[in-house]
Structure 1
Amino acid sequence: MVDFEVVDLPETDHVAVGEQAPDFERPLVNDEFWEDVALSDLTAEGPVLLVFHPMDGAFPATYVWSEIRDREWTSAFDAQIVGCSISSPYEHKDLIADSGIDASLFSDPAADVAETYGVENDLDGMAGITEHRPAVYLLDEERVVQYAWVAEQWPDFPPYDEVEDALGGL
């Protein structure tokens, strides 16, 4: 039995396949430290899979990153895997350590990046709290979107096999 309500999310005008993804600079957290990094710095090194996820500590974030870890995307594909959520660098470090994930996570506490990408989600009953709607973007070296998936419900999870097919097509 499901002990949470599935909610349809409002329509969104999100970044789509074929468009150039907006650049941004935010703290990028790994298992050792964090520093301000631009997305364009990452894509200059090669393809990037950008995974927007709800706040750390919420079961969808843990589930998404556990699935990515278990599927070994960080070692199986020629793309850098990075996440982005409203969580602070301190919370990201905890998620990375607790989940054993081998990825870096952007910290976007004001959800400005989510708004720019059209994947912001205003939380019901929480005035002034916006988080990231689950979304996945595969970006090439010029930040052109090669694959995009954006949640239409909460909770919703990426179609992992479809994402793997896109990663495999690099």
Structure 2
Amino acid sequence: MTKNVEREPNETVPDFRLPGTEGDEIREYQLSSYTDKGAVVLVFYPFDFSPVCTEVLCNFRDAEFLTFTENVDVFGVSLDSCYAHQRFIEEYDLPFPLLSDTRGRITDQYGLAYDEWEHHEGVPKRALLTIDESRSVRYKWVTEDAYESPGMDALHQTVLSLEEVDS
């Protein structure tokens, strides 16, 4: 198993490619394709359809500051397959892609995997990372408690600061 490496704010994260879906087709997503155009918010979460994960992703769906912010893309990342993601997106009308890190490589590389959580090894911790155009971490929130939901205020402030830089 890959050793977890914590990514700190202002640290540059590696590029990655993962399969994902926005609900219809399955395709490959590459981080740098989006950071080249602006910022990315990565929402790591344990499982599609779990109660807290559903609530957190629906909060992102409903966050108007993300909807009306140009050049900021949101991606959910879990170990679930794209087929589970398609159903999850359809059921909850999620307007952003969900990426499948089925082997946990990115979760491990970003230092965000539980050793074990509810008898599942390598499940992503609940975490948010905002990554800017240079692939530097501008905001990071991570919890050891998968039942804890992130607050949106600090993320909102980070997104506003990215908009100011772009202006």
Into which bin does the TM-score normalised by the smaller protein fall?
0.7 to 0.9
Q: Give 1:23's aligned residue.
A: 15
Task: Please tell me the residue identity of whatever aligns with 1:166.
Answer: T
Deviating runs (4+, > 2 A) in structure 1? 122-127
- State the SS of the aligned residue for 2:102: coil
Task: Tell me if 1:130 matches 2:122.
Answer: yes
Q: Take 1:88 and 1:134, find their aligned partners in 2: how far apart are those partners?
A: 18
Q: Give 1:98's aligned residue.
A: 91
Q: Give 1:37's aligned residue.
A: 29
TM-score under structure 2 length normalisation: 0.87
| Residues 53 and 83, structure 1, Cα contact 8 Å, conserved in 2 | yes
Give 1:163 shift: 1.0
Percent same amino acid among aligned pairs?
28
Superposed counterparts of 1:151-162, under 5 Å: 151-162=143-154
| Residues 89 and 107, structure 1, Cα contact 8 Å, conserved in 2 | yes
| Residues 5 and 108, structure 2, Cα contact 8 Å, conserved in 1 | no
Q: Deviations over 1:134-156 (max 9, x none)?
A: 11111111111111111132312
Q: Take 1:35 and 1:13, find their aligned partners in 2: how far apart are those partners?
A: 28
TM-score under structure 1 length normalisation: 0.86
Task: Tell me if 1:163 matches 2:155.
Answer: yes
Q: Select 1:81's aligned residue among 74, 78, 81.
A: 74
In structure 2, stretches of 5+ residues that fail to align are 163-167
| Residues 26 and 107, structure 1, Cα contact 8 Å, conserved in 2 | yes
**Structure 1 residues 97 and 74: alpha-carbon distance in aligned structure 2, compared to 1, 3 A threshold:** farther
Q: Give 1:107's aligned residue.
A: 100
**Structure 1 residues 55 and 48: alpha-carbon distance in aligned structure 2, compared to 1, 3 A threshold:** same
Task: Please tell me the residue identity of whatever aligns with 1:167.
Answer: V
**Structure 1 residues 140 and 163: alpha-carbon distance in aligned structure 2, compared to 1, 3 A threshold:** same
In structure 1, stretches of 5+ residues that fail to align are 1-11
**Structure 1 residues 73 and 101: alpha-carbon distance in aligned structure 2, compared to 1, 3 A threshold:** farther
**Structure 1 residues 156 and 125: alpha-carbon distance in aligned structure 2, compared to 1, 3 A threshold:** closer
- Over aligned residues, Cα RMSD in angstroms? 1.6
**Structure 1 residues 73 and 88: alpha-carbon distance in aligned structure 2, compared to 1, 3 A threshold:** farther
Q: Deviations over 1:73-117 (max 9, x none)?
A: 441223011110001000111111111111011100111111000
Q: Give 1:140's aligned residue.
A: 132
| Residues 53 and 60, structure 1, Cα contact 8 Å, conserved in 2 | no
Give 1:20 shift: 0.5
- Equivalent residue pairs, number: 158
